[in-house]
Amino acid sequence: MDIITRFQKSILDNSNNSIKYYFTKSKNKYIIHIENPNNEPINVCDNNLEFYTKLINILFDNNNKTKSGCFNYEHTEDDDPLYNSDFDDLMVRFLKSDYCLILIDDNFEPLSYLCISDNTLWTLCTNSLFRNKGYMSLLLDHLFKLIKNKKFKDYIDLPNLKIYIKKNNPIKDALFKYYKKYKFKLENDNFEYLIMKYNIDTRI
């Protein structure tokens, strides 16, 4: 079975015509694009359950003892109600966005993920099993290449593109330095977030 056929069988929600799927390649990895302007829930069925279960598990681990997902740091208390959320609730929470990009390998293993809503990059996450291999950089490099080729003109106004870093993120300082390499600079520092905005003036 070729990669496109596997993509069609293992990822797509064929029940909803308002959600569009695209498939691109970069440096021997693949990027799944999910365009969802109406923020419709993705229908998960037998064919695509395995893939989306893996993806949700890297974003949020609903085992309140292990807490191994990217965003468990936001929910440190064992009795946090999110740990009682079912799979459908987590799908809505993390994948109901205008646009999602998912970096995968040729085994359809989710490696890195981000989403775009309200001209902001959200939910940037790399699978804990595959960190420090440059996968988020690969995904962001591909995103900015597409932005410069005007492929995201309906979703991204580059001079006003933002990233929010939560203050309680244990690696917030490293993230701040990392995003600066992508020409983001601090715009606002409030009680909850460091808000970074793309710096169109490359001289600064």
- pLDDT of 3: 83
The encoded tokens of residue 191 equal: 């009680």
Strand partners, 116: 99, 121
Question: What type of residue sits at position 127?
Answer: N
pLDDT digits (tens, 9 = 90+) for 127-168: 988 899 999 999 999 999 999 999 998 999 999 999 999 999
- pLDDT of 2: 81
Is the pLDDT score of 202 beyond 70? no
Mean pLDDT, all residues of the chain: 93
pTM of the model: 0.93
- Residue range 79-86: mean pLDDT, rounded: 94
Q: Residue 114, Cβ neighbours under 10 Å: how many?
A: 21
Question: What type of residue sits at position 72?
Answer: N
Q: Residue 104 phi/psi, 5° resolution?
A: -130, 160
Q: Residue 101 phi/psi, 5° resolution?
A: -125, 130
**Range scoring the smallest mean pLDDT among 8-22, 60-74, 134-148:** 8-22
Q: Residue 143, Cβ neighbours under 10 Å: how many?
A: 22
The model's confidence at residue 16, banded by pLDDT at 50, 70 and 90, is confident
The model's confidence at residue 9, banded by pLDDT at 50, 70 and 90, is confident
- Residue range 26-51: mean pLDDT, rounded: 93
Strand partners, 185: 197
The model's confidence at residue 203, banded by pLDDT at 50, 70 and 90, is very low
